[in-house]
Structure 1
Amino acid sequence: MDRDKLKAAIEADVISADQAARLEAMFTRKEGEEAEAEPLRFLSNLNDVFLSIGLVILFVGLGAGLSISIFTSGTVRFEHFAPVIFGLLAAIAWGLSEYFCARRKLLLPSIILAIIWSVCVGVAAYFLLVWNVFQEHGGEIASSVFTGSEPSDSFFEDLATQSRTSAILGILVATGAALTYYIRFRLPFSQFLMMITLSLIAFILMPGFETLVAMGVVSLLLAIFFDARDPHRSSRLSDNAFWLHVAAAPQLVYGIRGIVEGSVPEGSAMVHVALVSVLAVLTILSLALNRRALIISGLVTFGWAIWNLFQAFGDSILMKFAAPFLLIGAIVVLLGAGWKTARKILLAGMPSTGLLGRVFPKEV
């Protein structure tokens, strides 16, 4: 497939960058060449980066400009000030999405707009909900300001309870906003937003590393579900799975790290042995699934654990300082260069058809 022609078609707005990537992958497979695993379909050229930076700056300016204009005009009541500002920003983000996402199919700017839309809708909902506490205790707050008296304990209890409830409801509204964005624009990144917001709600309700691991497992299972429906990584289902893997990876890695550190005596080298063992299992799972997200997310933790092991058991400067970098670098380079070979060895006895064949697709 002629890449120059595909590039010309993208620039002429005949096809999107995402469609071009899919066409190239399809023809590459047909021509018998090896297609790269996990292509990054959210970035096609530097113009996407340029537009994305411009969008961020634009919305900072819009937020400041709207805030100053509405505040100085006095047309909006104080309790509605924040919801109006964030509501307007959300509406503008949606309007720009109709152009950049629905029409132009520019994925990185669409990701920026999806984040702005979901966050602004959630924040607007939160401020609408939390203001009830201040309305109910307005007289008490005014009295404390002018007389110096302290508000009653019930005020702080109500504020804490209502703020927590409002935060949960606000995040839930943000989840709904991300779902709405996905339904309208079919942007795979919306899956990431939905999963992260739901994980945040779960963590507020049940704080702990176990919650992180549980939500990471849910994200991973959903990602595997989408991957199993598209083992050749050629449709939007695979893109949905990619972002769910990205959501699952840090939750699994840092949740497991927290559990391991909490169950092993502080300062013990066993915590690093346990972490390396867990991350080795995740690496094997990544190879089997043909997804690098778990490995990349755990790379910092893996490097930290390896470093501490060498500090504990190394008996020379070479072993303490040079050896960790050599080992980590060699592992990453070997995995990167021999990914397909490693997968062929790992999946040698795995069936190529059926459910297992779709969840763990073999190399062609």
Structure 2
Amino acid sequence: MISHETLERAVAGGVITSEQRDTLLTMDRSRFHAEEEDEANPEENLRLIGGGNDLFVTVGIVLLSAGFYFMLSTLLAGRTLWIAALAAAFAWAIAEIVTRQHRMKLSSTVLSLAFMAATTVVLWLLIQERYPIRQPESLWQVLALRQTAAPAGYLLFGGIIAAAAVYFWRFRVPILAGVVAVSATLLAFLQTAMILYDGIAAGTVAAPRIEDVPDLLRASLYMPLVCGLVVFGIAVALDLHDRERRTSWSDCAFWLHVVSAPMLVHPLFILATGQDVAFGQAEPDESATVMLTLLIIGFVYVALAIDRRSLLVPTLAYFGSLGIYYLVNSTANSTGIPPFALILLVIGALIITFGAGWQHIRRLIVRPTLPTSVLDRLPPLKVRSYSR
């Protein structure tokens, strides 16, 4: 910001005229008042769409990519591997202009997803050529798949992670953090299944019986829960690294929160409410409803503390969808009030209330309940909202 004295010296030295000085001062005062108005009426600063031109270019990219794909399908009919490889190269080339030079947000996201989709197809086709996997016709054939399923899975998920990492290194597209998190989670599931299989084959782990299936499925919920906690921890670390939400790392944290929320919510819901994993029972009793309400309160508090609505939205959507499922499919007495009706009312009220005054509620709840040493490391409690 140029001081008033500097402007006066510029007028005295003939650098600018007095009219130009007055114009600059008027522009500066207008900017100051605009910032004050923004502070009084904060809006969530989403960095997912860069504006009308970004949306316009995105439409062009979709049309151009579709045309390129249909052209390749005609010229290279039946050569799916080459089509997918050229589609990935095409998306990279367009990203060199749209993402690397102009930093268009929505367009960059679409291009990155197109690149990852084409790369996944390439990896899958290469795996089918090297590790042919046919549909098993017996239990023994399923057991025999271990020798091909393990290296094929490692190649697929490892290749996706490597491709996403290289693309992110080049273009810094935040959604790829979510792609890496999902692929790493699936890779962890594969590795756990291989360890269990090897244990059964070696005789160190007892093979499960039919009656053990519900307990086995319930125990398997710990895997997504652990993965969700790891992804959530990385997202929080990125949030603490960029408390003001000014860099692309906070956008990466946004997508990591979106990925971690379902992995945390579903296992906690099943484990806390005692639902039937094997048969998908979705109706909690009164005690389970209390536990479910406590879960919602816990997720709401954590979302407020770290200033992340992206963690809260999937959570409420999950609980709300379960409530709708129960209300539609239950055969409860029509004169009684289903337990999930209360949950739906709470979720709807929470969404409206938090949407109308997120930062105000955050100050009222978080500030009195956390020590200053913790608050100083969390996203700042102020009027302007940076959360997503």
Determine if the TM-score, normalized by the shorter chain, exceeds 0.5: yes
Alpha-carbon distance, 1:41 to partner: 0.6
Q: Of residues 84, 89, 92 in structure 1, which corresponds to 2:90?
A: 92
Q: Of residues 104, 107, 110 in structure 2, which corresponds to 1:109?
A: 107
Partner of 1:276: 293
Change (3 A) 1:186 1:211: same
CA deviation string 1:88-120 (max 9, x = no partner)? 111111000001101121111111111121222
Give the letter aligned to residue 113 of structure 1: L
Change (3 A) 1:320 1:154: closer
Alpha-carbon distance, 1:127 to partner: 1.9
Q: Following superposition of structure 1 onto structure 2, how do residues 141-220 of structure 1 map, counting pairs within 5 Å?
A: 161-206=147-192, 208-220=220-232
* In structure 1, distance between residues paired with 2:91 and 2:41: 35
Higher RCO by CA contacts (8 Å cutoff, separation 6 or greater): 2
Q: Is the 8 A contact 1:276 1:306 kept in 2?
A: no
Alpha-carbon distance, 1:328 to partner: 3.4
153-162 vs 59-68, greater mean Cα deviation: 153-162
Change (3 A) 1:151 1:230: closer
Q: Following superposition of structure 1 onto structure 2, how do residues 2-13 of structure 1 map, counting pairs within 5 Å?
A: none
Change (3 A) 1:221 1:100: same
Q: Of residues 351, 356, 366 in structure 2, which corresponds to 1:337?
A: 356
Alpha-carbon distance, 1:210 to partner: 2.1
Change (3 A) 1:322 1:132: closer
Q: Of residues 225, 229, 233 in structure 2, which corresponds to 1:221?
A: 233
Alpha-carbon distance, 1:219 to partner: 1.5
- Computing the radius of gyration from Cα coordinates, the structure with the larger value is 2
Is there any run of 5+ residues in structure 2 with no aligned partner, and where? Answer: 1-31, 194-219, 384-388
* In structure 1, distance between residues paired with 2:382 and 2:159: 42
Give the letter aligned to residue 48 of structure 1: D
* In structure 2, distance between residues paired with 1:120 and 1:271: 44
Change (3 A) 1:93 1:35: farther
* In structure 2, distance between residues paired with 1:302 and 1:153: 37
Q: Is the 8 A contact 1:227 1:358 kept in 2?
A: no
Q: Is the 8 A contact 2:289 2:339 kept in 1?
A: no
Change (3 A) 1:341 1:246: same
Q: Is the 8 A contact 2:284 2:339 kept in 1?
A: no
41-50 vs 255-264, greater mean Cα deviation: 255-264
Scaled by the length of structure 2, the TM-score of the pair is: 0.68
Q: Is the 8 A contact 1:191 1:244 kept in 2?
A: yes
What SS does the aligned partner of 1:359 have? coil
Change (3 A) 1:271 1:318: closer
What SS does the aligned partner of 1:177 have? helix
Partner of 1:256: 268
Alpha-carbon distance, 1:154 to partner: 9.0
Partner of 1:357: 376
Give the letter aligned to residue 353 of structure 2: L
Q: Of residues 46, 69, 73 in structure 2, which corresponds to 1:67?
A: 73
Cα RMSD over matched residues? 3.9
Alpha-carbon distance, 1:222 to partner: 1.0
Is there any run of 5+ residues in structure 1 with no aligned partner, and where? Answer: 1-25, 73-80, 142-149
196-205 vs 59-68, greater mean Cα deviation: 59-68
What SS does the aligned partner of 2:84 have? helix
Partner of 1:22: none
Give the letter aligned to residue 363 of structure 1: K
The percentage of aligned residue pairs carrying the same residue is 27
* In structure 2, distance between residues paired with 1:198 and 1:277: 30
